[in-house]
Chains A and B, each alone.
Chain A
């Protein structure tokens, strides 16, 4: 007799637990609530990344095509996987002396691990994070970018008052 009671009890408990699960899915079927799916790429126009989003390393240029990079190479040293290469050149300054300046700031996006060490250690805040995340290209070489724009020059230091 005891086993019969247990048998029926098993069935009863099983059915109750299954019904509880079906209630959950049924609830979401009737009222799905918030849907977190992103409708990419349709929402490209409205898609706004967080301000701290790590898309890629960029070098901001101002309206005079000037940047802050002096070509000191600290970012290159700090990069753990060699995704930054600094090529410098000698240019004459106002006094006619030849000084070191940045020729090419090469950034290999394909090797970057987004650890933020280059940006963190840059003494002049010359590089920062860009928000662009659509990095898919057909050729690997296109992931190697030159961060300073052609013809750009070093921004003069503002005189602190």
Chain B
């Protein structure tokens, strides 16, 4: 932002037409407040106000043992809860130099991909709804229900399953897990053409998203936009490829990259990622070993040796990283979470300027924000 705009923002000229989108607004998907200054319908500037759902998770984590920290990460990006759990688990395992069984790595990766599909599916539904196509919401929810049924069968909960634990998993997956996952892959492949016809190929949808909210690669890197939003701008940032963890080294998959950087490119990245996740699932489920236990041997009280530990994973919305400072006690001295949505949000104030208010909604939707992850 130029100095002049900042001055304008502070002084708040009288003729500015300011509307507050949020904290309760249908298209901000949570308690996010966007202070939008309009000129007619054109956005002059946009300031995001965050903190409505701040819970102080990093501070809370300092009074929790490493096993207890896991359940906090669930509540950050609740749509990729399992992937967030995994980041903490991997960090602790690396610190203790514990080798988890091969089977656990497979199961974790399968659950990662299932979460990713569920998350992208929900985003697809909500994005369609942001643009006014209300039917997409129900089709997406219908198909997501199948993933959640798999989760519920194995973990007993549908959204916030604190299923990971340092050293492995809480308990073994359900005996039907493999069968149901394969069934879901088949089912979802059949439903994807519907998605394509309903929204991806639609001419109104093209008009609403193509060339809207263009973010070039440089901006993406400068703002730290990761995940599908960054990859839509050609920023190769898939942690599964860049710094593989778990079983991902053995999996053959493609990193989806689009160079246009507009909302449609971000949309396409996510749609392609869902298909790619299905491919990964097929590979993993067929290779998954039946035997091998579900946890490594761990001490009942985990104490990390003194030092600093860092682990990043590819969550559904971008790079999720955990930085642990340990003083050798059973509580972490300090935990820093790098949540993807926090970085992804602030680029919005750059992308929105110059567009009209409907473009702001489309851009905000295409960035796929989860507000509790921003505020933590």
Q: Tell me if chain B binds chain A.
A: yes
- Residue numbers of A with Cβ under 8 A of B are 13-14, 17-18, 20-21, 23-25, 36, 50, 52-54, 78, 80, 113-117, 120-121, 129
How far apart are A156's CB and chain B's nearest CB, in angstroms?
A: 26
A24 with B197: CB separation less than 8 A: yes
Number of residue pairs across A and B with beta carbons under 8 Å?
71
- If the complex has contacts A53-B156, A114-B160, A121-B300, are A24 and B198 also in contact, measured as CB distance less than 8 A? yes
Does B135 interact with chain A (Cβ within 8 Å)? yes
Does B39 interact with chain A (Cβ within 8 Å)? no
Q: Among A17, A36, A50, which residue has its beta carbon within 8 angstroms of that of B202?
A: A17
A52 with B202: CB separation less than 8 A: no
- Complex Cα distance, B202 from A52, in Å, reads 42
C-beta contact mask, B56-70 vs A, less than 8 Å → 1, else 0? 000000001001101
- Sort chain B's interface into a size bin: 20 to 34
A52 with B197: CB separation less than 8 A: no
- Complex Cα distance, B196 from A23, in Å, reads 12
Could you tell me which residues of chain B, from 115 to 136, have a CB within 8 Å of some CB in chain A? 135
How far apart are B67's CB and chain A's nearest CB, in angstroms?
A: 6
- Complex Cα distance, B197 from A23, in Å, reads 8
- 9-residue interface stretch from B147-155, B232-240, B310-318: B147-155
B162 with A50: CB separation less than 8 A: no
Q: Among B75, B135, B156, B170, which residue has its beta carbon within 8 angstroms of that of A25?
A: B135
- If the complex has contacts A18-B202, A113-B71, A117-B67, are A52 and B153 also in contact, measured as CB distance less than 8 A? yes
Q: Among A20, A50, A78, which residue has its beta carbon within 8 angstroms of that of B197?
A: A20
What are 30 A-B pairs with beta-carbon distances under 8 A? A14-B203, A17-B202, A18-B204, A20-B201, A20-B202, A21-B199, A21-B201, A21-B202, A23-B197, A24-B198, A25-B135, A36-B142, A52-B152, A52-B153, A52-B154, A52-B155, A52-B174, A53-B152, A53-B156, A78-B67, A78-B68, A80-B71, A113-B160, A114-B160, A114-B162, A115-B68, A115-B71, A116-B170, A117-B67, A117-B162
| Chain B positions within 8 Å of A129 at CB level | 156
| Chain B positions within 8 Å of A52 at CB level | 152-156, 174
A54 with B203: CB separation less than 8 A: no
How far apart are B208's CB and chain A's nearest CB, in angstroms?
A: 13
B68 with A80: CB separation less than 8 A: yes
B201 with A17: CB separation less than 8 A: yes
Does B218 interact with chain A (Cβ within 8 Å)? no
Does B157 interact with chain A (Cβ within 8 Å)? yes
- Complex Cα distance, B207 from A13, in Å, reads 13
How far apart are B206's CB and chain A's nearest CB, in angstroms?
A: 8
- Complex Cα distance, B73 from A80, in Å, reads 13
How far apart are A69's CB and chain B's nearest CB, in angstroms?
A: 19
Chain A residue, CB-CB nearest to B61: A80
B203 with A18: CB separation less than 8 A: yes
